[in-house]
Chains A and B, each alone.
Chain A
Amino acid sequence: MILRKKDRVVVLGITGKQGTFWTEKMIAYGTRVVAGVNPKRAGETHVGVPVFATAADAAREMGSDVAVMFIPPPMAKEAAVSAAEAGVKLLVVLTEHIPAQDVMAMHTAAARHGTRIVGPNTAGLVTPGECFIGIMPAFVPSVFKPGRVGVISRSGSLGTLVCLNLTRAGLGQSAFIGIGGDPMLGTTTTDALRALDEEAGTHAIVIVGEIGGAMEEDAAEYARKVKKPMVAFIAGAASPPGKKMGHAGAIVTGSAGSYAGKRKALEAAGIVVVDTPAQIAPAVAAGLGAPVNQAAQS
């Protein structure tokens, strides 16, 4: 799930307002967008990219390693299932508020066809200085710069803030993996942690978690084996229990998914857990034995 410049990307829903805006941004940044999909616009060229009727047509004509979906919730299931059937290896689902039973159908199809889903409700993947897919401000130089810190985040907005802080501290990123805010994610914190652990260019890992679910606790188990320095921030310490905090997945029910439980599990695995996002960069620098830019305080 670490995107490379050579990866051929198909954009599902390329002709919509958001599909158009972000495809142009992706291409300008260096992403190899080889095809777009819109059943009603097949045969046209949109933002310089050939448009096909289906993901299968696009994959057959242009090849594809990765597909990214700019598709509204009612149509997301069908688009994802056909992309899996077309043999897409990595499917990035940006759509938020997909009905849960449609998400199950997507994951079932993905498992059957050997497709890895990132998301739903992810902001995407960024390999700074190389390429990105999704809706992250990869192209804003104050936010992302190439480096050796891998960042895992459920949230796009908070992930953006964390990368901004790292960049300000002189700490560039090897990869940003947005795993998404849905309660049922195709790629978990553990999956992303494993990918960054195995990636040679990543020397330190930042986990940006949220209250709700058990992904951080599960990742803590895997983290016991990881030798690279790890820093975590968990959002939601001040959130009242029993309320869905925007992300459908961010809810504390009973004792499950609480801030205290996550913090305890991560710390027991040797991860440095910080109180505010401003403390992330100094903690990473300390882990790497690197000097930290004094400006890094936000």
Chain B
Amino acid sequence: MNFEEYAAKALILAPAGIATPRGILCTSAAKAAKAAADIGPCVVKAQVPAGKRGKAGGIKLAATRPEAEQAASQILGMTIGDYIVERLLIEEQAKIAREFYAAVLHNTAAHQPLILFSTEGGMDIEEIAAEKPDAIRRLLVDFDTGPSPAEIAGMLAGLDLGAAQDQIADILARLYAAYRARDAELVEINPLALLADGRVVALDCKFVLDDAAVFRQSQIAAHGSPGAMTALEKRGAEAGLKLIQLDGNVGVLANGAGLTMTTMDVISHYGGRPANFLEIGGEAYTKSEIALDLVLSNPGLKSLVINFCGAFARTDVMTDGVVEAWQKLKPKVPVFFSIHGTGEEEAVKLVRDQLGIEPYDFMEDAIQEAVKAAS
């Protein structure tokens, strides 16, 4: 789950004691003008959970109240990435001497946290990695002990940070603690600025919360951005199902991520276009009723593949849900079944007896017929 800058600063940096410029959140140009009058020379920053806001024109400097009002009215309503700007952060301008990059994230290959620091702040980390790979310092952290002061000092050694080094070391330790306390997937400060007066301040902050940890970070998650979703995807999310709407016309209802992706692949292989990703594997396998409703609600649907290969997910339970929902939904497009694995005998019998449809012995036959019916 992503967070807008103001939320990341409030939820991650403020409790960690990492300094940020003074800022006020606004939802209108009039309020932005008022905030600018209070703050003085300021930066008007679009609040969306997407990167490259500056390049998109979503961040502007304003020296006066009228300038701030004008910038705010330009930025509000702008589209950045998949998002329309509805909020602005009005922040005091900083006198920047140097810009750094700092982040804590998972190193999935090592199964350990990784602290990153670079003196090339302000650029994307991908750009720094491509252009100046030597400028990135990395510290792989022992999960049980956390980073020691000596390790952090070692990571920063030789970077010519002068008097700022101790402040930066302190900030990295605090950022790591925040990453742990908040179940972050990523916390990033870019830029971390050394100001003309010698203070080190976080000018921006990115925070990604681990979706799997929402159950124990619910207060934080309430401030997150759910991400750009279609109305149908939102309905799926409300039912606890991960639906991704695609631009095709062959619907997919399968269990397990691997089998669902494969069903989409085979549809494409035979020249069809999948209409959605939706899996009801794992604990979600009992939700086939609502799942059928979701895939059938997709506009432009011409046919549907129901592909069950039961391991943990029992095909009899999933099929029972489909049959229940079928009576209410009365599908108007042809539906092609392939059912194998745990509970398959009962499941095949249900489809045959209750729906009068003969499931295909081979998945590829069901998919080829569905592609044919959609074209």
Contact = CB atoms under 8 A, between A and B. Distances in A.
Contact of A247 (B142, B257, B268): B257
A219 interface: no
Interface residues of A, number: 61
Contacts of A278: 362-364
Nearest to B259: A157
B320 to A, nearest CB: 16
Interface majority SS on A: helix, strand, loop or mixed?
loop
Interface stretch (A7-15, A33-41, A82-90, A207-215): A207-215
A164 interface: yes
Contacts of A115: none
A99 B310 contact: no
A108 interface: yes
Contacts of B108: 183-184, 213
Interface string B243-282: 0101000000011111111101111110000100101011
B362 A239 contact: no
B170 interface: no
Contact of B364 (A142, A236, A254, A276): A276
Interface residues of B, number: 58
B212 A98 contact: yes
B166 interface: no
Contacts of B283: 96
| Most B C-beta atoms less than 10 A away, residue of A18, A74, A99, A211 | A99
Interface stretch (A132-140, A195-203, A224-232): A132-140
Contacts, number: 187
B265 A276 contact: yes
Nearest to B260: A246
Interface of A: 18, 73-74, 94, 96-101, 103-105, 107-108, 123, 135-137, 140, 142-143, 153-161, 164, 181, 183-184, 208, 210-211, 213-214, 233, 235-240, 243-248, 250, 254, 275-278, 297-298
28 contacts: A74-B216, A96-B283, A97-B212, A97-B282, A99-B213, A100-B183, A100-B185, A103-B111, A108-B112, A142-B340, A155-B257, A155-B258, A156-B311, A159-B258, A159-B311, A161-B259, A181-B258, A183-B108, A208-B258, A236-B265, A237-B268, A238-B274, A243-B244, A245-B244, A245-B277, A277-B262, A297-B362, A298-B338
